[in-house]
Structure formats: structure tokens, C-alpha cells
Amino acid sequence: PFTSDELMKRIDDIKKNIPRDDINGGQQTESRASDNEGGQATSQCRKHDEIVNEAVSLYRSIGPRKEILREGRLVPEHIRNPLLEILKNLCWQVPNERKHLNAERYLTLPTNVSNDRFYGDLRQACRDLMQWTDKSYFYSGIAVTKNFVASPHIDDRDRSYQYAISLGDFEGGELCVEGRMYDEESEKFEDFINVVKTRNRIARVEGRHIHWVRSWDGGDCYSLIFYDTTERFATPVIDTGVCVNNLQDLE
């Protein structure tokens, strides 16, 4: 769930970009500010609920955000097929490393490990994939999941963009990433959602923007996220939420 600070920032951004007559949550904002001296846990929860209601009201006022359909680069079969077979036969850790995540299986592979007798084949297959994708990209770890459904969240430890791919016999499961772009004609920032097809495709996306995974139908869905949490090759946040030069837009 979003923090109160994140929600308040969104509320302020919305109010800057829509006519005042269209704002339905002004009174809630004033109420929120006037009793901000609480401190009790119950009071904080109540205030958070009030802020959530105000944000929802404002989003209803402006209507659905624009969605931009995109797809990643298609990975050759000779790279993705062996990787999928490894994932299907993988000996997963029990229990999952991150219990709070909604995934049947989840593990992370840090790159500063040598002679991995459990996941050596998977590591090599991932290296082959990234050699084809982006030889210059440094990743400090790989998040490996099976049947992962992600609620909106931010990977706040990231110091650079991510690469994402999903594999398996399924339909749906698009990766959604929030983006923002300045519209010179209206002289306002435009918020939108990138809806990225990653099945058998790899995409450069911004994990430091709010993102989530849509549900899917069919068989098992395996996903790999390559990320960097070090300061070694830190990069600026991608405002658009994805690297548009790395993706293809869909009609």
C-alpha cells in the first residue's frame, strides 16, 4: 500500500493539473491538515484512510489514465527455450525468500556468488540472455518468480533501471509501469500507464516507478527481473517509466 506521503504528493500533483471546479476532495485536504497533530496509531490509520478516500475521489474526477501498449524485444528461441526448461525443473527454496509477496515461488540470485552448485545452470542461462540483450548492463541480482502477481509497488533500493522478461504458456500477465511526460502543447505533465508485454520478450523498465503485474490465464508464468542495488553504475530515473527506444509501441 502507498504511504500517506506518497498519496499526498499524488493529490497535490493532481490538483496542479486539473481545473479547480473539478476538484472534489478539497475539504478532506483541509481536514487532514488541521488535525495533523495526532500521534496515536489509530489516529494515523484514520488519517491514512481519509487520504486514500481523497485520492480515490480525485482520480474518479479526472477519469482513467491513458494506457500505452508496448512490447519488449523478442528473445530468440535458442536463448529463451533452454532458460524456460531450467525454470520448469528448478529446485525452489522452501519457504519463499519474501513471504509477503504473492508468488507461488520466489528467490533472488545475487551476482557476487561463484561456484553455485544449486543454480549454476540458471545463472549461465541468464548470462547468455543478458549477453544478447545488453552486454554493458551491470546487474547485482536477479529476482526469479513463478506465478507472481504484484500489487503496485516501488523497488526503492534500485539504483538503475531493470530488465524484465516472462516465460511460459500463458496469456496476459503484462507488466504495468507508471510514466510521466511533459506536454509542451498543454504545458502540463501527462501521467500514463505503460502496459508492457514481456512474454518471451525482454524490456528495459523503471523499477523506481510504481509498477505491478496483471493477472494471466493458462499455464505457469515464470519471470526474471535483472536489477542493480549498488552505486556502481547508478543511472537517473527514467521519467517515462520505460526505455522507449528498447520497446515497440502497439496500436
Write down the mean pLDDT value for the chain.
85
pLDDT (average), residues 208-226: 95
Q: For the chain, what percent of residues have pLDDT higher than 90?
A: 55
Torsions phi, psi of 87, nearest 5? -65, -40
What's the CA angle centered on 74, arms 177 and 206, to 5 degrees? 20
Residue with the three cell numbers 491514512:
48
Q: Is the pTM for the entire model greater than 0.85?
A: no
What's the CA angle centered on 68, arms 214 and 164, to 5 degrees? 50
- pLDDT reading at 31 higher than 60: no
Q: Closest Cα to residue 90, out of 163, 166, 145, 171? A: 145
pLDDT (average), residues 196-209: 97
- pLDDT reading at 181 higher than 80: yes
pLDDT digits (tens, 9 = 90+) for 127-150: 999 999 999 999 999 999 999 877
